[in-house]
Structure 1
Amino acid sequence: MAKETEKQRWQRNFADLLQELRVAQTGVQILFAFLLTLPFSNGFTRATPFQKDVYIIALLSAAAAAAMIISPVAFHRALFRQGRKPELVRFSHHMATGGLAFMLISMVSAVLLITDFVLSRPIAVVLSAITAVWFLALWLVLPFARRNWGEDDIDDEDDDPVVLPGD
């Protein structure tokens, strides 16, 4: 198997990142759309001031997540054919990471909003905290704990766009 060139590696990292962003983008757009319609539903008038505050946090963090996850497209358009793939990959990586952080805030806030609406506040807080821990375990703890497992695996070599030269 021929070793890939640095240019090919950046191209592969960018393609991998775009695939990841497609998944995240769909999720954040669905959540954002749901949150945009919520104030127009009949039951929203019964929301408490706390629930409305949580709603605003969920809505604004979903908007921030959408903006950050979609921003690599605009950046790519601006840098198209300028030979700046490394800069694009680094920027896209940072935007994806920030977008996922805002998506986490939005999802946990949405869980808090709904559970606080249908259950007691203490139960809602506990369920939302469990949700946050679950997301953090799957999105942060497990991936970082996994980074050093199977270092001899040939299939995983240089497959992680998180570790970038000069980053």
Structure 2
Amino acid sequence: MNSLGRRQTSDGRHESAEERADRRWNELLQEVRVTQTGVQILFGFLLTVVFTPRFATLSETDKTLYVITVLLGAATTGALIGPVTLHRLVTGRRLKPETVVWASRLTVVGTVLLLATVVSVLLLILRVAMHNGAVPWLVAGIFAWLLLCWFALPAWALYRHARRK
């Protein structure tokens, strides 16, 4: 620790716990902003589908899939807006480091829910558009791709970093 109360962290930064929490919060906010926008557009689109003439012609399976997709979209929206609400409600109570941890966990939950929502939307749209046996394979391919991009790559990076230490 230096004379200003700062200490060098494992990533070579010289920052206090409060400065680190502020930095991590700002980084998290930027990440959440990106996902929130996409989720809100997707969810808004989903809410309008039920009011189109085509909706009445869907099979019961597709209507059930639609309801599941809307519920997943609502849950995703809640999880990804949650960090902002959490921060607003606990601001000024000296809980910034804890808030960052809780908001980060909520964001990960939101990302998992987003994965489920995107897969569900794809399944519904491709079932209606294609009516063939390729749909599950196409959706499975996109699911695998999203898993790779969103979870496997970060896990691999963490694993490589841990091995270097």
Question: TM range, normalised to the smaller chain?
Answer: 0.7 to 0.9
- Tell me the SS of whatever aligns to 1:137: helix
Match of 1:34 in 2: 45
Tell me if the contact between 2:17 and 2:97 (Cα under 8 Å) persists in the aligned partners.
no
Matched, 1:75 2:86: yes
What does 1:75-154 correspond to in 2, within 5 Å? 75-149=86-160
Deviations 1:71-113 (A, max 9, x none): 1111111111111011101110111011111111111111000
Q: Which moved more, 1:105-114 or 1:139-148?
A: 139-148
| Superposition CA RMSD, Å | 1.6
Q: Tell me: CA distance 1:90–1:2, structure 2 relative to 1, closer, same or farther (3 Å).
A: closer
> Equivalent of 1:11, from 19, 22, 28?
22
CA–CA distance in structure 1, aligned partners of residues 141 and 57 of structure 2: 26
Tell me if the contact between 2:83 and 2:106 (Cα under 8 Å) persists in the aligned partners.
yes
Number of matched pairs: 151
Partner letter of residue 120 of structure 2? S
Match of 2:3 in 1: none
Deviations 1:91-149 (A, max 9, x none): 10111011111111111111000100011242111111111111111000011102244
CA–CA distance in structure 1, aligned partners of residues 145 and 88 of structure 2: 36
TM-score w.r.t. the length of structure 1 is: 0.85
Partner letter of residue 9 of structure 1? R
CA–CA distance in structure 1, aligned partners of residues 83 and 161 of structure 2: 31
> Equivalent of 1:54, from 65, 83, 93?
65
Deviations 1:40-92 (A, max 9, x none): 11211221111111111111011001001101111111111111011101110
TM-score w.r.t. the length of structure 2 is: 0.86
- How much identity, in percent, do the aligned residues show? 34
Gaps of 5+ in 2: 1-11
Partner letter of residue 116 of structure 2? I
Matched, 1:66 2:86: no
Q: Which moved more, 1:32-41 or 1:140-149?
A: 140-149
